[in-house]
Amino acid sequence: MAYGNELKNHQNELHHFRLRLTVLGFLVLIAFSILASRFYFLQINRYDYYQTLAENNRISIVPIAPNRGLITDRNGIVLAHNFFVYTLEITPSKIANLESTIAELSQLVEINKSDLKRFKKLKAQSNSFESVPIRTHLNEVEAAKFAANRYRFPGVEIKSRLFRHYPQGKMGAHMIGYIGRINDKDLTKLAEKDVLSNYKGSDHIGKSGIEQSYESELHGTTGFQQVEIDADGKAVRVLSSKAPVSGNNLVLSADIKLQEIAETAFGDHRGALVAIKPSTGEVLAFASMPTFDPNLFVDGIDTENWKLLNESLDKPLINRPLRGIYPPGSTFKPFAALAGLEAGKREPPFSINDAGYFMLPNSRHRYRDWKPGGHGNVDMRRAITISCDTFFYGLAMELGIEKLTDFVRFFGFGEKSGIDIAGEVGGLLPTPKWKQRRFKQPWYKGETVIVGIGQGYTLATPMQLAQATAILANKGVAMRPHLVSSITNSKTGVNKVNKPFINNTIILKDKNLEIVKLGMIDVTLPGGTAAAVGANAGYSIAAKTGTAQVIGIKQNEKYNEKLINERHRDHALFIAYAPAENPTIAVAVIVENGSHGGSTAGPIARKVMDYYLLGKLPVVEPPKDAKITPSITGNAITTLIQPIENALEEKLHD
Amino acid sequence: MFSKLVQPFFKHIDSFLISCLLFTMLVGLFVLYSASGQSFGRVSAQIINIAVALTAMWMVANIQPQLLERIAPPIYMMGVLLLISVALFGDISHGARRWLNLGFTKIQPSEIMRIAAPMMLAWFFAKREASPRIRDFFFAAILLVVPVVLIMKQPDLGTALLVTSSGFYILFLAGLSWKFLLGGAVTIGALTPIFWSLLHDYQRRRIEILIDPTQDPLGAGYHTIQATIALGSGGATGKGWLNGTQSQLDFLPERTTDFIFAVFGEEFGMIGNIILLILFSLIIIRGLIIAGQAQTTFSRLLAGSITLTFFTYTFVNIGMVSGILPVVGVPLPLISYGGTSMVSLFISFGILMSIQTHKKLVASG
């Protein structure tokens, strides 16, 4: 029955079809009527308006650049702002003879060759009715001089333009970054992101650091004026306009006073320091030494200064915390220790009797401890405290390379930390697979042995070391490190907080964490490798010293610091968190060619922690040498630790 | 004598439709000459496009609709496969992946879909013995969504929109219930604010600019502002052929392709515009008549969809140029410069003619 009803009734179907076709026919009629009435509106009603625009005048859209957002530190101290400067500007279309005008102008105010060069470059890029600066940073006297002679120069005017300024100068330059003139590469990138039209009025763009990574927040929205221009290209009147919207303001988690203490503590040393609040991932200080003045870059750096910065052996332009890669040396030991303990190995009361070297079965090669003759009876806690190499050689061997690297990878070794500024490199955590791929060679057991003490192929950035320390201090909870703590919307005033974000969590046994912590606390107590660092602190410090070889030392050869060129001395490393019971700061310090972690890197970390925890300003005193010197290993794997030089420098040269 | 010789040759050509098409294209050639800065090269290239398109139309018109119905599924399958290959190995130009390099020639599979998708849907509904039910429409919608999503991913919003509309016309003509249509409209209306609230600020901004380009006069809005000035300054009678100041000066972008209507409107004014609308209307009316007289479900659904898709083209393009619709890359049929779109357009007119001229044979047989 149902079947019969459902069969098509062809007559009925055709009827329905034609009905629907008619409905659509009406739709066509309505749509075309809409178009016709639009024609009537444009071509009859508004004819005069459009006729005037088309025939006598042309429309030009003049962009108005927005104010770039401010950057302040966590206490509101300004790190980057804008200020007005007087500029002398020429509108080429209003000038009969450009050459002679410029010649006359140069008798009033100084116009040098680079000013002229810039003027020509800018003029080629803009419309003839747009004014182009011929001189920037006019002082009061120059401005007054020109104002008095203004009548002689139609088409030349004084304008005030916004310039970016970094009031802290060299301080925190690698973190804050800088802006520079937009170049072709930037334009391509902007076009890819589909935001090119928002940069029509802008000359500058963030080139590094926060300025680069938060460009989309800082830039703001370009406003515009729709102006009528006459046949000569002069603006006749403004038809409509829309005000620009300033960029958003950024508040950093960094404390610029802490930054100052850190940078000052380095003195003439090269190196890097990163301090992180373990519970949130906020970066408190981010030092890369030596540093540079970002103000030089704002309006295009001149050749002399560029040469000075770029060709300096100290490599001030390298962002060491993110791009400097160093063997972690003995600072790797606490993490290797945890790897062992969590795998159920070397748990107390296990101990070894250290004779001063380790040998693989069926091999006569001696992996030496840094202390000739050895440390005697050593358990896990003491192995960390005295930085016993022999203990960790054996541990690494027993764990195997895969197990060891798989575990420490949780602490961020071999991977980017994910900090919110660009350019980070991932360091290196070697595995047999990696070696096969990289060198087409098999993995040797001896290579596992030295990974246990952070040597060999292992490489880490200061950022990674600080992050690993912070994860350790936070009992295995890895917070994503970040420099920007909040963003204030310039239009609505709404403050968007960059909430702490858990990257991942490692489940660790409390008793194992306790062993490592106690071992690290002992490092800063009498008998530890950095006893001087902990002296009279007033709070407990869990720390580890480290040394990274710059040149290899052959078997049976002795390392003699005094005989070695300063640049070939070992790098000094130091990681710490404090107060050890309830850590609020984790620090990693690297002093290039600083020799001993305890004596050169440690005091820098101490000063930073003193200020952060106690508000104590550093007292100027000569550093004392620690009694115990940390590990120098005998194996001759040469890893030169020059910070990698790469495309970054090319990018800087604008 | 002569007419007797050529008559079999033109047996399957609809004389009214071809007259309207040829006249409109002739107008188009004059506009193109003006828009291209009086370039004979452009015009002769377009004449070659037209000749190729007419040949394709003639060949398709000679195919029986029954055969078209049979080959609908394989053509559709091939089209989908080609779209997938484009997504995987297509050539990228202007930031979109649309072309497939076959070694000897390059093809744009999304153009095939413009005909294959409605053919497939018409075949699908013709196959149903009973009146289509909701689940049939649901299945048909899936057949439509697959190629549309692939085209959108290229990204080619214009073609995706047109393939969607061609499929939608089939659904509507096949009898998609009013309740369903109303329900759909209400659902979309209700979901829009929710969807909107889920978007990021920059995504909203993009949509706002798409809807109202004048908000971004430095970017997307530039086209629209210049096009409306050109149109408006044309007035009632226009500035005359080759005398459009906006078009002759370099103010109008893409003036031989997507924005060619602005040139036409500036030079021929409102009267010219209305005449062009009438020409388009004649073509549409003829198409609707062919659909209404068609004898099989397949041919009437397909004829209806082809005709209304042609209408959608003209409406979207003219609406975009005159600033009442968002700017999506859709050429003005029969007028805009371009080969591929011309050929696929004329294949669809060939189908219309095949449906119209093979009718009597079916009736007698």
**Average pLDDT score over residue span A379-396:** 91
Query: For A280-289, A366-375, A529-538, B3-12, which range has the lowest pLDDT when averaged over its residues?
Result: B3-12
**Residue A279 · residue A499 · CB < 8 Å:** no
pLDDT at A126: 65
CB contacts, 8 Å: B292 with chain A: 17-18, 21
ipTM of the complex, rounded to two decimals: 0.91
Name the strand (E) or helix (H) holding A464.
Answer: helix A462-473
Mutate to test the interface with B, among A17, A195, A216 (most CBs of B within 10 A): A17
What chain B residue is nearest to A195 in terms of C-alpha separation? B219
pLDDT at A48: 87
Nearest to A21 among B173, B233, B265 (CB): B173
Query: For A616-625, B93-102, B284-293, which range has the lowest pLDDT when averaged over its residues?
Result: A616-625
pLDDT at A128: 63
**Average pLDDT score over residue span B286-301:** 93
A639 pLDDT tier (thresholds 50, 70, 90): very low
Beta bridge mates, A271: A289, A591
CA A454 – CA A404 distance, rounded (Å)? 11
Tens-digit pLDDT profile for residues A491-503: 888 888 888 899 8
B96 pLDDT higher than 80 = no
CA A283 – CA A303 distance, rounded (Å)? 34
Nearest to A197 among B218, B232, B292 (CB): B218
Tens-digit pLDDT profile for residues A441-492: 899 888 898 888 988 889 999 999 999 999 999 999 999 999 999 999 988 8
Tell me how far apart the terminal alpha carbons of chain B are, to the nearest angstrom.
Answer: 29
How close, in Å, is residue A42 to chain B by CA atoms? 5
Asked if A17 and B216 come within 8 Å (Cβ–Cβ), the reply is no
pLDDT at B250: 58
Residue type, A340: G
Asked if A20 and B175 come within 8 Å (Cβ–Cβ), the reply is yes
| Averaged confidence pLDDT in chain B | 86
CA A175 – CA A74 distance, rounded (Å)? 14
pLDDT at A59: 67
pLDDT at A636: 33
| Averaged confidence pLDDT in chain A | 84
* Catalytic residue list contains A330: yes
Tens-digit pLDDT profile for residues A49-102: 888 777 655 667 778 888 899 999 999 999 999 887 888 888 877 777 888 888
Mutate to test the interface with B, among A34, A43, A224 (most CBs of B within 10 A): A43
Query: For A141-150, A381-390, B64-73, which range has the lowest pLDDT when averaged over its residues?
Result: A141-150
Q: E strands within A508-549?
A: 542-548
B256 pLDDT higher than 80 = yes
Tens-digit pLDDT profile for residues A17-61: 999 999 999 999 999 999 999 999 999 999 888 887 776 556 677
pLDDT at A136: 81
Higher pLDDT: B253 or A109? It is A109
How close, in Å, is residue A62 to chain B by CA atoms? 9
Asked if A13 and B131 come within 8 Å (Cβ–Cβ), the reply is yes
SS3 state of residue A577: strand
**Residue A6 neighbours by CB distance under 10 Å:** 13
Which two three-digit tokens encode residue B56? 């394709």
Tell me which residue of A68, A197, A65, A508 sits closest to B217, measured CA to CA.
A197
Q: Is B36 on the interface with A (CB under 8 A)?
A: no
pLDDT at A299: 73
Residue type, A54: A
B265 pLDDT higher than 50 = yes
pLDDT at A305: 83
Mutate to test the interface with A, among B203, B218, B301 (most CBs of A within 10 A): B218
CB contacts, 8 Å: B217 with chain A: 61, 224, 226
Residue type, A331: T
CA A394 – CA A355 distance, rounded (Å)? 13
A549 pLDDT higher than 80 = no
Strands of the sheet with A585-592, listed across from one edge: A282-289, A270-277, A585-592, A571-578, A542-548
CB contacts, 8 Å: A224 with chain B: 217-218
At CA A215, angle to CA A212 and CA A216, rounded to 5?
150
Asked if A50 and B219 come within 8 Å (Cβ–Cβ), the reply is no
**Residue A652 · residue A317 · CB < 8 Å:** yes
Tell me which residue of A449, A454, A484, A480 sits closest to A467, measured CA to CA.
A480
Catalytic residue among A202, A253, A288, A330: A330
Residues 258-317 of B with CB under 8 A from A: 265, 269-270, 273-274, 277, 280-281, 284-285, 288, 291-292, 297, 300, 304, 308, 311, 315
Asked if A25 and B288 come within 8 Å (Cβ–Cβ), the reply is yes
